[in-house]
Chains A and B, each alone.
Chain A
Amino acid sequence: MINNFLRYSIIFVLLILLQVLLFNNIQFSGYVNPYVYLMFILILPVEIQSWLLLLISFLTGFLIDLFSGTPGMHSSATVLAGFIRPFILRIKSPRDGYEAGSNPSMFMYGFRWFLGYSIPIVFIHHFALFYLEVFRFTDFFNTLLRVLLSSLFTITFILLLEFIRKGR
């Protein structure tokens, strides 16, 4: 339990630092802004209480907001991601259920499962985030393009990090 807590704390700090120091500075043509910190929400244990999940989501988003000077934007999108995660997990649940005490990792449930699990969450998070940022529906498709491209990059980076995590 303590061990688990420590491990997640380290991953949390690493992901936040990675996001703030590296990915917030990737400004590739204004269309690609990967938000890799979302990975933390994805890899929390399957059996986590939903209220705790929501609180952690809020905290994560709030920290990112603090560092990027956008009050509330990341918080709301990440809370939304935390809220829909249990539903996605239920839809994607394997035939004989999740193993007790496991976390949704590629190592545990396979590449295809992980892809199918992370794509909807990342997409919904980015969708909420980018439309909250623009806050209007003119240039709807332009924003949608940004959502799609950024989601693609976020998922790529999350998969890469997941491979690194698998290596440990």
Chain B
Amino acid sequence: MRNLLNFLARYNSLIIFLILEGIALYLLSSGNSYHNTRIVKATRGFAYRFEQIVSSTRNYLYLKQVNQTLAMKNAVLQNQMENIVKSRDSLFFLVDDTIHFQKYIHTSAQIVNNTVNRQKNFFTVNKGRNHGLAVDMAVVSDDGVAGIIVACSQNFSVAMSLLNVDFRLSARIRSNGYFGSLAWDGANYRFAVLSEIPQHVTFGIGDTIETTGYSAVFPEGVMIGTIADYEKSGGDFYRIRVLLKTDFKKLHYLDVIGDLTRNERLELEQQFQ
């Protein structure tokens, strides 16, 4: 007993160090996984209110730019509306069935917390389950792909940013339709890497990269970025560096897109797997 006490007294700082380090590493290992609501728990509450103040100040400073993009978007939407009204004149459709033709549902949201300087970046948006958001919905900025919702609380959602080394996205070259897998390599926040494009495909620098509809998360044809440069890698594939269209440092207003037919599609697909 005496020896034990001596031992404890002698190595007390080492023991406390090991205990505290153990707690920290436990928090680290249990808190950083992919679909984990602990991130939401951590951002809620006190720290959360604080971030809101910061982000509202920041949003205020960007109001001018936001106005411009909103006006542009408005114009585009108005044009689309014209088209729809015209085409409906010549077709039969059921008046009271509002979602029959609708595949995607859009919700606009604001970003309240965002990082780009980590390896696993997440951002928080100010809408949650109460506003119809759910896990696995796509998040798109005015420019292009931004992320995927990974956790929802009542009023907030956390999305995995495209700038996350765990993020995978099915993407294709718009000009010829060949598709591959897009991921971030963790280096520069402006660039991602598109792999699995075979070497017989021809494309040029500056070609557009867009999403495919294969993942049942993102709608087809959402812009991701343009080809910055490419190199041959290992086997028979190209490794293409993609300049992202979305600038994650000035992300403010987002569009969350839910696929209304997603469950139906996944159920059908599951029968054959």
Question: A interface vs B, CB < 8 Å?
Answer: 20-21, 27, 29-30, 33, 50-51, 54-55, 57-58, 61-62, 65-73, 75-76, 79-80, 82-83, 86, 132-135, 139, 142
A62 to B24, CA, bound (A): 8
Name the residue on A nearest B46 (C-beta). A66
Interface hits, B16-36 → A, CB 8 Å: 16-17, 20-21, 23-32
Name the residue on B nearest A86 (C-beta). B13
Q: Could you tell me if A51 and B32 are in contact, using CB atoms closer than 8 angstroms?
A: no
B229, chain A: closest CB distance, angstroms: 18
A-B contact pairs, 9 of them (CB 8 A): A30-B189, A55-B20, A66-B46, A67-B47, A70-B118, A72-B24, A72-B29, A75-B23, A79-B20
Contacts across chains A and B counted by CB atoms under 8 Å: 101
Knowing A51-B13, A67-B50, A71-B42, the reply to whether A133 touches B24 (Cβ < 8 A) is no
Residue B195 CB within 8 A of the other chain? no
Q: CB < 8 Å: which of B21, B116, B122, B188 contacts A69?
A: B122
Q: Could you tell me if A58 and B118 are in contact, using CB atoms closer than 8 angstroms?
A: no
In addition to A30-B116, A66-B47, A135-B119, 10 A-B residue pairs with Cβ atoms within 8 Å of each other are: A30-B187, A69-B39, A71-B27, A71-B42, A73-B24, A76-B24, A79-B20, A79-B21, A133-B119, A134-B186
Q: Could you tell me if A61 and B24 are in contact, using CB atoms closer than 8 angstroms?
A: yes
Give 9 closest A-B pairs by Cβ, nearest first. A72-B28, A72-B27, A71-B31, A76-B24, A50-B13, A75-B24, A71-B27, A83-B17, A27-B117
Name the residue on B nearest A79 (C-beta). B20
Residues of chain B lying within 8 A (CB to CB) of residue A62 = 24
Residues of chain A lying within 8 A (CB to CB) of residue B13 = 50-51, 54, 83, 86
Q: CB < 8 Å: which of A29, A58, A66, A135 contacts B23?
A: A58
Q: Could you tell me if B47 and A142 are in contact, using CB atoms closer than 8 angstroms?
A: no
Question: B interface vs A, CB < 8 Å?
Answer: 12-13, 16-17, 20-21, 23-32, 38-39, 42-43, 46-47, 50-51, 54, 113, 115-120, 122, 185-189, 249
Residues of chain B lying within 8 A (CB to CB) of residue A70 = 31-32, 118
B12, chain A: closest CB distance, angstroms: 6
Residues of chain A lying within 8 A (CB to CB) of residue B188 = 29-30
Residues of chain B lying within 8 A (CB to CB) of residue A139 = 185-187
Q: Could you tell me if A132 and B28 are in contact, using CB atoms closer than 8 angstroms?
A: yes
A144 to B26, CA, bound (A): 25
A132, chain B: closest CB distance, angstroms: 7
Residues of chain B lying within 8 A (CB to CB) of residue A72 = 23-29, 31-32
Q: Could you tell me if A76 and B249 are in contact, using CB atoms closer than 8 angstroms?
A: no
Residues of chain A lying within 8 A (CB to CB) of residue B28 = 71-73, 75-76, 132
Q: Could you tell me if A51 and B12 are in contact, using CB atoms closer than 8 angstroms?
A: yes
Q: Could you tell me if A69 and B43 are in contact, using CB atoms closer than 8 angstroms?
A: yes
Q: Pick the most buried of B13, B29, B39: most chain A CB atoms within 10 A of its CB.
A: B13
A65 to B47, CA, bound (A): 10
B160, chain A: closest CB distance, angstroms: 13
Residues of chain A lying within 8 A (CB to CB) of residue B24 = 58, 61-62, 72-73, 75-76, 79
A152 to B46, CA, bound (A): 32
B185, chain A: closest CB distance, angstroms: 8
B218, chain A: closest CB distance, angstroms: 25
A132 to B119, CA, bound (A): 10
